[in-house]
């Protein structure tokens, strides 16, 4: 994996998520993380390819963007994104918005933009808690991982039957490898 290229692509996806959100702004890290996750699933579902190769990891509230502070720090230092506190009732959350410079960045290619648009349409009317509940219920990769582990998110697109077959095959191969390397 070419980390420089992958970080650049992950940052471009984050910019596009913010751009496609109402008012070029998205509120809450959980919603941003879930939009990133769902954009990757929608792209894979439509194109049988990867939107980016940036890792998505297990976090307590569902799938999250690995090393998010590094990606966000770069976007802020370059003047593309502004991070501000916002209120959710009596609580303080975080708002991510594009700056004028961020708005001038070219959009993603049409097929990638379509996946981001689908993700934004899916997350826009849901709270972070609702999105976490959805991923807790349906994400097979999240349910099978420990906090901090990279998620094989594309397994989430499999039917329950195909997922179980894949798990059984992986366990069998693992057993064979342990025997061979014993």
Over the stretch 38-53, which tens digit does the pLDDT of each residue have?
999 999 999 989 999 9
Q: How many CB atoms lie within 10 A of CB 75?
A: 23
Query: Is 53 part of any domain?
Result: yes
Question: Is the pTM for the entire model greater than 0.95?
Answer: no
Rounded CA-CA distance 83/98 in Å is 9
Query: Is 172 part of any domain?
Result: no
Query: Is 51 part of any domain?
Result: yes
Per-residue pLDDT reduced to its tens digit, 76-111: 999 999 999 999 889 999 999 999 999 999 999 999
- The pLDDT assigned to 131 comes to 96
Query: Is 164 part of any domain?
Result: no
Query: Is 173 part of any domain?
Result: no
Query: Is 50 part of any domain?
Result: yes
Rounded CA-CA distance 133/105 in Å is 33
Map residue 53 onto helix, strand or coil: coil
* R_g of the chain, CA atoms, integer Å: 18
The domain total for the chain is: 1
The residue segments making up the domain with residue 40 are 3-157
């Amino acid at each position: 994996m070419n980390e420089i290229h992958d970080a650049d692509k992950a940052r471009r996806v984050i910019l596009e998520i913010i751009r496609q959100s109402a008012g070029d702004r998205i509120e809450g890290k959980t919603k941003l993380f879930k939009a990133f996750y769902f954009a990757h699933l929608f792209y894979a579902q439509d194109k049988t390819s990867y939107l980016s190769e940036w890792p998505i990891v297990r976090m307590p509230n569902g799938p999250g963007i690995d090393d998010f502070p590094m990606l966000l720090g770069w976007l802020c230092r370059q003047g593309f994104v502004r991070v501000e506190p916002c209120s959710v009732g009596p609580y303080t959350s975080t708002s991510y918005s594009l700056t004028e410079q961020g708005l001038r960045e070219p959009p993603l290619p049409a097929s990638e933009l379509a996946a981001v648009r689908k993700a934004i349409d899916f997350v826009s009317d849901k709270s972070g808690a609702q999105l976490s509940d959805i991923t807790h219920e349906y994400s097979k990769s999240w349910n099978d991982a420990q906090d901090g582990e990279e998620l094989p998110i594309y397994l989430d697109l499999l039917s329950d039957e195909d997922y179980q077959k894949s798990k059984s095959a992986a366990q069998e191969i693992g057993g064979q490898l342990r025997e061979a390397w014993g």
